[in-house]
């Protein structure tokens, strides 16, 4: 299911804290960085903070620049991004500035929390446009993201904390990008809130996209690279599948075969190999086959790797002894992410998916990428 692009935004001290323990919000960003944050807000469809941040900071979460608000309206977007909060308890203060400024608001909560939130916010004017949505007995981040995408039309979500919210989105592999502003000061208090808490995070190193001085603060932008686990898709899966779809555009054209791109990625987010159909002058080689041929079969990372293929791996072939689903299984790979189930154009009832699953592989299909996968194959389907 499609999610919005999830951008985590935070300012941290040199010792990794989001705030101190004092009653006032600690200003880690300087004026130039707050202006940069305003720009990011203006570029977003929605801004999310946890209920902890609502209680401690009493934020407005507005786009402060009149010029940026006017540009949003000129683009046909609401003047202010949708404001989003999450609360398990539903214990929300109706006097908080969050409710009384800006545009529409939405609360994601649990079945129990919904009753309490409805009660707590009952006194608010109808005109404030507050929606309360339960994701079930527990707060489910995937349900929340799908709801924001499908029901509220959110394509770009800025998450402004706090630490508990950032930690969960990062640990669950749901963040597409981390924007970190590192401020040149120390907090030094052991009980101050940290950006990220302990727990199991996706393994490996993230990819550095940018560093920039913004006044005396340094902005660092990282994107996660580690594939998801099992049948759950992570944000990095979407990035790797996008690359596979882009590789398909490199295929020499053909009237008798699909153009497909493939990438093999280790569990820690290291790219092991990439390939595309008919690569290197071989008129029949398939994308997955071309990619796997570049990896030492004894590479111990294959057992926990993911193969991304713009088209479902093939189940039968005339031009080679083994189809790609077989090659993937024989390589020891047990996770495949694909965009498009194979149509009957060349082989009727091809079911690479079924072959993979029957031998214990996890197959994730992300149909929101199907059109991209079809793009270089328009003449065939
Ligand atoms: N420097 C910076 O850039 C920023 C700093 N901050 C700082 O961060 C601190 C607040 O962070 P923190 O206390 O971690 O709070 P959060 O803002 O992360 O909110 C946590 C709350 O969100 C709800 N919640 C989150 N996840 C779940 C879940 N899985 N199930 C149910 N409820 C959930 C709960 O609400 P409930 O209690 O209602 O159940 C929980 O108490 C403040 O000191 C603030 O100043 C915040 C943002 C940015
Ligand atoms: N302290 C801090 C941030 N805090 C974030 O800004 C929010 C306040 O927004 P508003 O009330 O609209 O100004 C607050 O709730 C929290 O999410 N952000 C940053 O970029 N840098 C900082 O130093």
Q: Encode pLDDT of 309-362 as tens digits.
A: 999 999 998 888 999 999 999 999 999 999 998 888 787 778 889 999 999 999
- The arithmetic mean of pLDDT across residues 64-76, rounded, is 98
The answer, yes or no, to whether any atom of ligand 1 lies below 6 A from the CB of 50, is: yes
The percentage of the chain sitting over the pLDDT mark of 90, rounded to a whole number, equals 92
**1: Cα within 13 Å, side-chain hemisphere:** 13
pLDDT category at 11 given cuts 50, 70, 90 is very high
pLDDT category at 212 given cuts 50, 70, 90 is very high
The answer, yes or no, to whether any atom of ligand 1 lies below 6 A from the CB of 161, is: yes
Atom of ligand 2 nearest to the CA of 28: 23
Q: Which ligand is nearest to the CA of 8?
A: 1
Report the nearest-CA residue for atom 22 of ligand 1: 50
- The arithmetic mean of pLDDT across residues 188-212, rounded, is 96
Atom of ligand 2 nearest to the CA of 9: 20
Distance CA 202, CA 247 (A): 25
What is the pLDDT of the chain when averaged over all its residues? 96
Which among 294, 277, 288 has a CA at the least distance from the CA of 337?
A: 288
Report the nearest-CA residue for atom 15 of ligand 1: 52
Q: Are 238 and 366 in contact (CB under 8 A)?
A: yes
Compute the distance from residue 81 Cα to the ligand 1 centre, in Å: 20
Going edge to edge, which strands form the sheet with 261-265?
Answer: 271-276, 261-265, 306-311, 335-340, 362-365
Determine the pLDDT at residue 200.
Answer: 96
The answer, yes or no, to whether any atom of ligand 2 lies below 6 A from the CB of 20, is: no
The answer, yes or no, to whether any atom of ligand 2 lies below 6 A from the CB of 25, is: yes
Determine the pLDDT at residue 257.
Answer: 92
Relative orientation angle of helices 66-74 and 31-42, to the nearest 10 degrees: 10
The answer, yes or no, to whether any atom of ligand 1 lies below 6 A from the CB of 192, is: no
Determine the pLDDT at residue 128.
Answer: 62
Compute the distance from residue 155 Cα to the ligand 1 centre, in Å: 23
pLDDT category at 126 given cuts 50, 70, 90 is low
Atom of ligand 1 nearest to the CA of 163: 14
Q: Are 251 and 230 in contact (CB under 8 A)?
A: no
The answer, yes or no, to whether any atom of ligand 2 lies below 6 A from the CB of 62, is: yes
Determine the pLDDT at residue 127.
Answer: 58
Question: Domains of the chain (ranges plus CATH)?
Answer: 5-223 (3.40.430.10), 235-377 (3.40.140.10)
Atom of ligand 2 nearest to the CA of 97: 11
Q: Which of 22, 61, 112, 164 to mutate to test the pocket of ligand 1 (most atoms within 8 A of CB)?
A: 164
Residue labelled with tokens 């993201």: 145
**Can you give the pTM of this predicted structure?**
0.95
Distance CA 111, CA 371 (A): 36
- The arithmetic mean of pLDDT across residues 43-70, rounded, is 98
Q: What is the pLDDT of residues 83-123, one digit of tens each?
A: 999 999 999 999 999 999 999 999 999 999 999 999 999 87
Which among 206, 215, 255, 236 has a CA at the least distance from the CA of 364?
A: 236
Determine the pLDDT at residue 235.
Answer: 97
Determine the pLDDT at residue 19.
Answer: 98
The answer, yes or no, to whether any atom of ligand 2 lies below 6 A from the CB of 49, is: yes
- The arithmetic mean of pLDDT across residues 272-276, rounded, is 98
The answer, yes or no, to whether any atom of ligand 2 lies below 6 A from the CB of 54, is: no
Report the nearest-CA residue for atom 19 of ligand 2: 11
Distance CA 287, CA 298 (A): 20
Which among 234, 220, 243 has a CA at the least distance from the CA of 170?
A: 234
The answer, yes or no, to whether any atom of ligand 2 lies below 6 A from the CB of 187, is: no
Cβ neighbours of residue 80 closer than 8 Å, sequence gap 6 or more = 62, 63, 69, 72, 102, 103
Q: Which ligand is nearest to the CA of 30?
A: 2
């Amino acid at each position: 299911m499609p999610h919005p692009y999830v951008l985590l935004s935070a300012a941290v001290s040199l010792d990794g804290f989001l705030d101190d323990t004092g009653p006032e919000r600690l200003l880690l960003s300087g004026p130039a960085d707050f202006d940069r944050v305003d720009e990011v807000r203006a570029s977003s469809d929605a801004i999310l903070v946890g209920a902890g941040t609502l209680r401690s900071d009493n934020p407005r979460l507005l786009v402060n620049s009149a010029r940026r608000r006017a540009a949003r309206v000129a683009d046909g977007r609401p003047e202010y991004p949708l404001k989003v909060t999450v609360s398990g308890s539903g214990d929300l203060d109706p006097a908080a500035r969050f409710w009384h400024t800006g545009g529409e608001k939405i609360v994601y909560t649990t079945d129990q929390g919904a009753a309490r939130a409805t009660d707590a916010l009952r006194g608010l004017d109808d005109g404030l446009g507050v929606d309360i949505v339960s994701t079930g007995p527990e707060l489910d981040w995937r349900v929340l993201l799908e709801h924001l995408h499908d029901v509220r039309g959110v394509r770009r979500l800025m998450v402004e904390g706090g630490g508990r919210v950032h930690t969960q989105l990062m640990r669950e592999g749901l963040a597409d990008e981390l924007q970190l502003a590192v401020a040149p000061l120390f907090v030094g208090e052991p009980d101050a809130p940290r950006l990220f808490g302990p727990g199991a995070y996706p393994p490996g190193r993230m990819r550095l996209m940018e560093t920039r001085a913004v006044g005396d603060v340094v902005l660092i932008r990282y994107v996660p690279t580690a594939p998801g686990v099992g049948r759950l898709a992570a944000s990095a899966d979407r990035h790797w599948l996008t690359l596979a779809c882009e590789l398909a555009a490199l295929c020499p054209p053909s009237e008798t075969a699909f153009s497909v791109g493939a990438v093999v990625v280790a569990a820690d987010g290291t790219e092991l190999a990439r390939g595309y159909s008919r690569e290197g002058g071989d008129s029949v080689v398939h994308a997955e086959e071309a990619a796997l041929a570049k990896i030492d079969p004894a590479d111990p990372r294959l057992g926990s790797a993911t193969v991304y293929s713009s088209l479902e791996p093939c189940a039968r072939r005339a031009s080679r002894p083994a189809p790609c689903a077989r090659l993937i299984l024989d390589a020891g790979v047990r996770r495949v992410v694909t965009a498009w189930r194979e149509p009957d154009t060349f082989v009727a009832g091809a079911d690479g998916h079924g072959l993979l699953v029957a031998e214990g592989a996890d197959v994730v299909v992300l149909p929101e990428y199907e059109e991209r996968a079809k793009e270089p194959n328009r003449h065939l389907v």
